[in-house]
Chain A
Amino acid sequence: MALFMLILTGVLVQTSVLTIVFPRGQAPNVVLLVIIAWTIAVGFDKIWPWVITAGIIMDLAFFEPLGKNVILLTLASCAVDFFSNRLPTESRAGKIITAFFVSALAAALDSFFNIFFVGPMPFAVKNIAVQIAAGAILFYASYIFLKKRKIA
């Protein structure tokens, strides 16, 4: 139940907080970032059912075709799991580099899925830079939290 509430909160933060604080496509995909952080912290196998649950909630809340975000989150989680051991997450500098790398990767993956399913969107460097920077902070915070709690 606690995990379900955590996912639900992430989805609501996306629609009712981040879209106001970061308008015009600057908002990072917070659930995607949390799922990636969670995968790095505990591994894909332990969280697989929650990845699907998160995707379904996102699809329902975002008025998108059911399955779109499930596939996005599953692919992202599985892909990150393959190279998560190689990410420098021990030192603080390593964590920051990882945060920016993961945030950029999440933004690219998210944009690709949106272009494929929703349609093209004008490209603005400033928006992408803000999205990556905000995403890196969100990823860093969620990784530290999930690593400490070892939630699975």
Chain B
Amino acid sequence: MLEKKFRRRLIKTALTAAVFGLLIFLNPYSFFNPFREILFKITYPIEKTFCFLSWKASNTYDLFSSIGELKRENERLAEENLKLLSESAMLRDMRAENETLRKELNMLPRGRFELEPARVISYDARGRGNWIKINKGGKHGIKEEMPVIVFNSIMVGKIEKVFSESSQVILTTSPQSSINAVAGAAGARGIVKGKYGLKMVMDMILQSDPINVGDKVITSGMSGSIPRGLLLGAINEISLSPDHLFQQAVVSPALDFSKLDIVFIIKGVK
């Protein structure tokens, strides 16, 4: 009797594993997007409320656990520091290029983006920092591949999937992310890829290109809809690639992505 019961359970489990294992193998990812759309339509208001309340609770806890005034001051300084960091990266980049080249290459003017503000409503459930979900979607003119920034020029990711009222943003620290970038005063070019959802690695840098620890890494403007000059982070480690043909640099993001609350989507240039 007991053996029969166990056998039945094992059959159920094996059947489930076989059917869904086959689904994983076939991976019809976009086939399920309409189902995701329905699910997100139902969950949107709850997610928004949960996220808002969690941030309130988290911020209250932070406030109590730190010395009140110092915390606020620290936040203000951190914000100011971020603004200065991005400003400094932009200025350095601007100095390196002259206006003629700018016109010739048809580069985008800075500070003139058409921005759409959005609130983060959910985060990578695994805590890996690979994606976030925002409360703006197709209804608000959001399209796939649009860059997502904070503080006007710090890039945090790009739009991966668009639903009617929400969108999934792949963060720059996600292994799925790959962006053309330049670093340092000499403008060393390379490709920035995410690693572990915590940091980035700038790869394919020519050995002849000088880069230093502390150099700012910005977007090169060669990755589709991503404009030039968005700050990705700073170099904090340099090494040779495994095949010893290129240089590799570990890039630390300019801010802690787990604390993202409000972001801006670049819809275009004014």
Residue count of chain B within 8 Å CB distance of chain A: 53
Q: How far is the CA of A119 from the CA of B43 in the complex (A)?
A: 28
A30 and chain B: residue at smallest CB distance: B125
- C-beta contact mask, A2-36 vs B, less than 8 Å → 1, else 0? 00000011011111110111111111000000000
Is B151 in the interface zone, CB < 8 Å from A?
A: no
Interface of A is mostly: helix
Interface of B is mostly: helix
Smallest CB separation, A56 vs chain B (Å) = 8
Q: Are B54 and A16 in contact (CB under 8 A)?
A: yes
Is B92 in the interface zone, CB < 8 Å from A?
A: no
Is A44 in the interface zone, CB < 8 Å from B?
A: yes
Q: Are B128 and A75 in contact (CB under 8 A)?
A: no
Q: Which residues of B contact A78 (CB under 8 A)?
A: 9-10, 12-13
Question: Across the A-B interface, how many residue pairs have beta carbons closer than 8 Å?
Answer: 133
Q: Which of B19, B27, B125, B127 contacts A61 (CB 8 A)?
A: B125
Using a CB–CB cutoff of 8 Å, the interface residues on chain B facing chain A are 5-6, 8-10, 12-13, 16-17, 19-24, 27-29, 32, 35-36, 39, 42-43, 46-47, 50-51, 53-55, 57-58, 121-131, 133, 161, 168, 175, 196-198, 258-259
20 pairs of residues in contact across A and B, judged by CB atoms under 8 Å: A8-B43, A8-B46, A11-B43, A12-B50, A13-B50, A16-B51, A16-B121, A19-B125, A25-B128, A27-B125, A45-B8, A48-B12, A58-B125, A61-B36, A61-B43, A62-B125, A74-B13, A117-B24, A118-B126, A118-B130
Apart from A70-B16, A121-B196: 12 A-B pairs, beta carbons within 8 A: A8-B42, A9-B46, A16-B54, A17-B50, A20-B54, A22-B127, A25-B126, A63-B131, A65-B24, A65-B27, A66-B28, A74-B17
